[in-house]
Amino acid sequence: MGEGTGDLPDEARPAQPVLAVVGRPNVGKSTLVNRILGRREAVVQDVSGVTRDRVAYDAFWNGRRFTLLDTGGWEPDAKGMQAAISAQAEIAMQTADVILLVVDGQVGATAVDQAVARTLRRSDRPVILAATKIDDSRGEGEIAALWRLGLGEPHPVSGLHGRGSGDLLDIVLDAMPESPRDDVDIEGGPRRVALVGKPNVGKSSLLNQLTGENRSVVDATAGTTTDPVDSLVEIDGETWKIVDTAGLRRKVGQASGTEYYASLRTKAAIEAAEVTVLLLDASQPISEQDLRVASQVAEAGRALVLAMNKWDLVDEDRRHAMVRELERALVRFPWVERVNISARTGRAVQKLAPAMRTALENWDRRVPTGQLNQWLADVVAATPPPVRGGKQPKILYATQAQNRPPTFVLFTSGFLEAGYRRFLERKLRETFPLTGTPVQINVRVRE
């Protein structure tokens, strides 16, 4: 988990607002993204063009941190371009706090640019228009024509040389809220759930089971006029908000045939939710992709429940062996609760809500400082941190800086090895109820 090495005090770091970058291929998005990131993180160019894991980057400007969501990692294909770009815009509108539409300032507005601008004009998020490839003042006159996209002033920038990029970022940050949209309704209101998993694992069946079984689909928030983006569903006497049900119903990722979209969509759903239900196919061995999604949830700092679906397909006499295999595959996630269900028959689907509730309760948990330091004193007395460079690091005290997920800061007199930090996490989990939630332990070295 958290790698705090002493130089990065992470406490009280709030969730970050999100900037999404949208635009046609070859307009210069990646070049601009690299410029914004100060090339600290090269944008990963994917070989096949359809899968790319890293779509979100940490960015920093003028003392403010934000997440840069690069929605551009797809292979252009004349036929699919329109669909792909509207999917991009849609994802940006659902997840971002500010949207940056990038057009090629040397080319001007194309029909595709106009279509995406039309979509983005419906957004209730601020949209900023950047005209790239304006490498010197000569190009600036030409971009006046971009006003007709109806997104306000076009801002000239050269991702290649950096010209105008500082001004552009100032404008972006001016439009960005202090705290991300996710934080707005975090108190009160139904808790947000993402249903994710590989194609055909049973996500839509489960959604139907949940919405159909109890006739109480209370409401749906409209994304476009026809598609519900999120659905309110009553499970076990409580109303939950299932995010991105439009994506589940329409199966965007599969329809457009790109795994990349499925993964972007998954990522967006995880970010938008407080707890993720990751569906696994119990009749199949657990895959790398499944584990990657579980890691994504943990890295995003969200609560997690594993639903072993299609349990009806698992032979009675194979169950024992299967559970052992699973435990081996899931060693990195010993804190996650597993529920065996069948979305088709409805078996044990009612066990999901209690598992989600527990995960969220622990995700919300605040451990009082007194209890935390009592625990720490006991653990350290029994097993002190290993000596390093002839010195015994002392752990002075601990405090919980944040919840959602629980984030702890240890103040020490020296560096703590990763193994010892993992040991502390294990001990922490033995003492305080933290099932279903990732935790982060940061270390601050006091000289």
Does the annotation flag 245 for ligand binding? Answer: yes
Residues 68-127 binding ligand GDP (CB under 6 A) are 72
Does the annotation flag 309 for ligand binding? Answer: yes
Which segment (24-32, 118-126, 142-150, 389-397) binds ligand GDP by CB under 6 A?
Answer: 24-32
- Of 15, 19, 22, 30, the one binding ligand GDP (CB under 6 A) is 30
- Specify the amino acid at residue 135: D
Which segment (27-35, 185-193, 318-326, 392-400) binds ligand GDP by CB under 6 A?
Answer: 27-35
Least distance in Å: CB of 124 to ligand GDP? 25
Residues 6+ apart with CB under 8 A from 269: 194, 195, 196, 243, 244, 247, 276
Which segment (61-69, 238-246, 309-317, 388-396) binds ligand GDP by CB under 6 A?
Answer: 309-317
**According to the binding rule CB under 6 A, does residue 154 interact with ligand GDP?**
no
Distances (CA, A) of 197 to 203, 305, 365, 447: 7, 12, 27, 46
Interaction pattern, residues 196-235, with ligand GDP; x per rule: CB under 6 A = -x-xxxxxxx------------------------------
Starting from the edge strand earliest in sequence, which strands make up the sheet with 56-61, in order? 56-61, 64-70, 18-22, 98-104, 127-132, 154-156
Residues 131-150 binding ligand GDP (CB under 6 A) are 132-133, 135
User: How many angstroms separate the CA atoms of 340 and 334, rounded?
Assistant: 16
**According to the binding rule CB under 6 A, does residue 257 interact with ligand GDP?**
no
Which segment (23-31, 143-151, 266-274, 294-302) binds ligand GDP by CB under 6 A?
Answer: 23-31
> In a 3-state reduction of DSSP, which class is residue 36?
helix
User: How many angstroms separate the CA atoms of 158 and 32, rounded?
Assistant: 8
Least distance in Å: CB of 352 to ligand GDP? 13
Least distance in Å: CB of 61 to ligand GDP? 18
Least distance in Å: CB of 312 to ligand GDP? 5
Does the annotation flag 189 for ligand binding? Answer: no
User: How many angstroms separate the CA atoms of 55 and 67, rounded?
Assistant: 10
Beta carbon nearer to ligand GDP, 57 or 375: 57
Residue 139 near residue 105 (C-beta atoms within 8 A): yes
Residues 326-365 binding ligand GDP (CB under 6 A) are 342-344
Q: How wide is the angle at C-alpha 195 spanned by C-alphas 91 and 318, nearest 5°?
A: 145
Does the annotation flag 72 for ligand binding? Answer: yes
Residues 41-60 binding ligand GDP (CB under 6 A) are none
User: How many angstroms separate the CA atoms of 386 and 384, rounded?
Assistant: 6
- Of 125, 191, 267, 310, the one binding ligand GDP (CB under 6 A) is 310
Closest CA to 406 of 421, 420, 425: 425
Q: How wide is the angle at C-alpha 444 spanned by C-alphas 438 and 447, nearest 5°?
A: 165
- Of 263, 309, 358, 402, the one binding ligand GDP (CB under 6 A) is 309
Return the structure tokens found at 437: 């939630």
Least distance in Å: CB of 118 to ligand GDP? 20
Size of the site for ligand GDP (CB under 6 A): 30
Least distance in Å: CB of 143 to ligand GDP? 13
User: How many angstroms separate the CA atoms of 133 and 116, rounded?
Assistant: 20
Beta carbon nearer to ligand GDP, 1 or 195: 195
Residues 6+ apart with CB under 8 A from 28: 102, 104, 132, 133, 159, 160
Here the contacts of 366-372 (C-beta below 8 Å, separation 24 or greater) are 366/400, 366/403, 366/406, 367/400, 367/406, 367/408, 367/432, 369/398, 369/399, 369/400, 371/432, 372/398, 372/399, 372/400, 372/408
Beta carbon nearer to ligand GDP, 232 or 307: 307
Residue 198 near residue 291 (C-beta atoms within 8 A): no
Beta carbon nearer to ligand GDP, 159 or 405: 159
Does the annotation flag 375 for ligand binding? Answer: no
> In a 3-state reduction of DSSP, which class is residue 398?
strand
Does the annotation flag 199 for ligand binding? Answer: yes
Kindly calculate the radius of gyration of the chain based on its CA atoms and give it in whole angstroms.
24
User: Which residues line the annotated binding site for GTP?
Assistant: 23-30, 70-74, 197-204, 244-248, 309-312
Binding site for ligand GDP (CB under 6 A): 23, 25-31, 72, 132-133, 135, 158-160, 197, 199-205, 309-310, 312-313, 342-344
